[in-house]
Structure 1
Amino acid sequence: MPKISVIIPVYNNEATINKCIDSILVQTFRDFELILVNDGSSDESLSICKRKEYLDSRVKVFTQNNLGVSIARNKGIIEANGEYICFADADDMYMPTAFEIVMALIEKNNVDMVVGSIKEKKNGKVNYFKPFLKDDVKLKVFKGKNLKLLKRWTMEKDSKIFMNDSPDDIKLSENFRIDTPWAKFIKSKYLKENMFNTNLRLSEDIVLMYDLLSKMNSVLISDDIVYTYNVNSNSITQKRYDPNIIGYNMALTKELLKLKADYDSSFEQSIYMRIVNCYWDSIVRGISYKNSFKYQLKIIKEISHDKNYIYVFENINIRYCKTLREIIVTILNKLHCYTVVGILGMYISNK
């Protein structure tokens, strides 16, 4: 049994997959398997993966029809044999000593998950996302009460409870990413029992991470940079108009509402604010503003009359809104001013 199974979903990534794979094959820690799941690529991605499999026995290639990233990741989880599982996107890279650093932390601390830090590359600029607010804190093991706070922070990054009532050495930077699958080394038994929700196409990683933190006993967060994240303008979360966004956000809204009673009223309101952003995302990206305004207004009313959105806007307390946009969108929905919502959506969409 290898110590680590690395899972990479691959879909039309011929331009980047070579570098991604090579960043793993050159790891200083060698006891791993690399699982590549080709998700119905129509370019040379599969051929590249097959060549890597031929040259290195640690590489395993599986292929499926284009079923989406969650099903591809779940396929990798099913096939994984490692004690720990980590993920990568096909246009990103792990640092050469990442696995060695992480395995040393696991051997010393015996935790269920290690969360490493990342650097982000976007438009030629590099940002380093360090986890802790205090510069002298390099790592921290979260257990018990602190682990529950960490779980809450996954959904409610600006949680006043976490930031005000927690010890200084566990306070996290808002830029830190715990809600993504990459740069996480997760004990495989947790993923075998809790896979990605295949009904979701947005924020499925956040929902999974929240669920995993409910099951785990210990999580170590380290400020060691282990992963390079390249911002992809073609990802779902970066695209503009996409009519499927409306359905994706409604599915996510249903899942989020299941979590609203997990903590207190403040957390419940935080969940509502996430849903307000789902609603606004649908207005801005789910409607083609090239159509007639009458048609646009029809779609806006259909979205706004969804029972879950109605429930959220009826129960939101405006004092929990953190941006002017959230305040305006909430007030307009409470007053049923959908025409104004449409005008704002058109303005933002065309910017």
Structure 2
Amino acid sequence: MGEVSCPKATIVVPVYNSARSIQRCVDSLLAQSERSIQVVCVNDGSTDDSLNVLRRIAQADDRVLVIDQENAGVSCARNAGIDAAEGETVFFVDADDYIDAQTIERVLHAMESADAEAAVFGGVCEPADAAPKRVQQLMSPKAGIFGARDPQLLFHSNAQPYACRAAFSRELLNREGIRFAPGLALGEDVVFQFAAYALARKTVVMPDKFYHYVMESESATHEFNSVEARAKKLDAHMRMLEEVLEDWAAYGLLDLCPGELITWFLDLIVFDLARLDADDFHRVAARVNMDLTTFLGTEWADMPAKGAVRRVAHKLVTATSGVTMADATLFYLSTRGLKACLERFI
């Protein structure tokens, strides 16, 4: 049995109706070459046999702690795990997924060598052909070491989204009060990472693909992306932006890189904007303009560096004409290049 009094790492696993996959997930954690770990499994009101499976696992290995709570969503489950964490470094693994046996050892070594408070690593999607190219790209971070408040880490290193392929000093999370935002249907990990990466004194990015992201239709992210209506997706992205803006206001980060923040957000929604009818466009434009004006000022549409981005931004301010598919295409050409733009349409 492993020692849990002073573990080097805590791995938080939110569990909801994952009886079929949780054994494989936890087995991959207990098989880590780094034995000094704590595994916190938070059963989030599962209605299947997940809780019984977890209890059997915990009886067999005292490094596993099971928390049982009423269903409150993945953010609350992860927060409960953070609050119960005893390890110096906190990792997150979803119940559908698993990690390579050397993951914890190698990430901890990289963090110690770089004197870092956060780490990002890569992952693979299973099955590989189920993942869009963009997801595969995002799971392939670019190696580097970054200081606090570095826009390159936030926007250009494939370091977000997916909090499950990142690790954070527990001292950082508690010192800055960083937790997941409850109630978000999409992007809770992005909000968390935007705070943690900006506030960590140093972050090490590893290209190693340790994480295995299993593309199950039952998982919250995949189900949302495949069946939810465009309007609901836009609303979820808006709520994510609002959480980021509120966090950055609280942490004094709004002057860090507002132009890049605006560009990043518009990149998420520009093609959905181009498909809205006039009434829906006016509604979304009013909300975007109100939020960004409140936090960044009335000149927010002039802050992005690229003209194609500013064009879309000004259409949201004036709301006299909608964003066209040509606008969206020029936006992509400007921010991602020709190859990414062609991949979007071919």
TM-score normalised by L of structure 1 = 0.71
1:21-72: CA deviations, max 9, x gaps?
1111111221111111111112222222222112211111112122111111
CA contact (8 A) 1:28 1:100 kept: yes
1:242-300: CA deviations, max 9, x gaps?
565454333223234454994769x3233223443565587699x9xxxxxxxx76555
Aligned pair in 2 of structure 1 residues 86, 43: CA closer, same or farther (>3 Å)?
same
Partners of 1:340 and 1:215 lie apart in 2 by 35
Cα shift at 1:148: 3.1
Whether 1:63 and 2:75 are equivalent positions in the alignment is no
Partners of 2:74 and 2:226 lie apart in 1 by 16
Unaligned runs of 5+ in 2: 1-5, 328-346
1:132-189: CA deviations, max 9, x gaps?
3xxxxxx64434xxx432xx135432xxxxxxxxxxxxxx4xxx33443223222111
1:241 alignment partner, one of 207, 221, 228? 228
* Alignment partner, residue 18 of structure 1: 23
Whether 1:217 and 2:218 are equivalent positions in the alignment is no
Partners of 1:124 and 1:153 lie apart in 2 by 29
Counterpart amino acid of residue 238 in structure 2? M
* Alignment partner, residue 153 of structure 1: 152
Paired residues for 1:305-320 under 5 Å: 305-306=286-287, 308=290, 311=293, 315-317=300-302, 320=305
Equivalent pairs, count: 304
1:183-220: CA deviations, max 9, x gaps?
32221112233211225443222222222233322222
CA contact (8 A) 1:155 1:206 kept: no
Partners of 1:96 and 1:188 lie apart in 2 by 22
Q: What fraction of aligned residue pairs are identical, expressed as a percent? A: 23
CA contact (8 A) 1:279 1:309 kept: no
CA contact (8 A) 1:314 1:334 kept: no
SS of the equivalent of 1:66 reads coil
Aligned pair in 2 of structure 1 residues 299, 90: CA closer, same or farther (>3 Å)?
same
Aligned pair in 2 of structure 1 residues 191, 339: CA closer, same or farther (>3 Å)?
closer
Please say which of residues 235-244 and 63-72 is displaced more in the overlay.
Answer: 235-244
Whether 1:34 and 2:39 are equivalent positions in the alignment is yes
* Alignment partner, residue 164 of structure 2: 182
SS of the equivalent of 2:43 reads strand
Aligned pair in 2 of structure 1 residues 107, 238: CA closer, same or farther (>3 Å)?
same
* Alignment partner, residue 336 of structure 1: 319
Structure 1 or 2: more helix by fraction:
2
TM-score normalised by L of structure 2 = 0.72
1:62-115: CA deviations, max 9, x gaps?
121221111110000011111111001111111011122223334444432232
RMSD: 3.7
Partners of 2:67 and 2:97 lie apart in 1 by 20
Counterpart amino acid of residue 226 in structure 2? K
SS of the equivalent of 1:239 reads helix
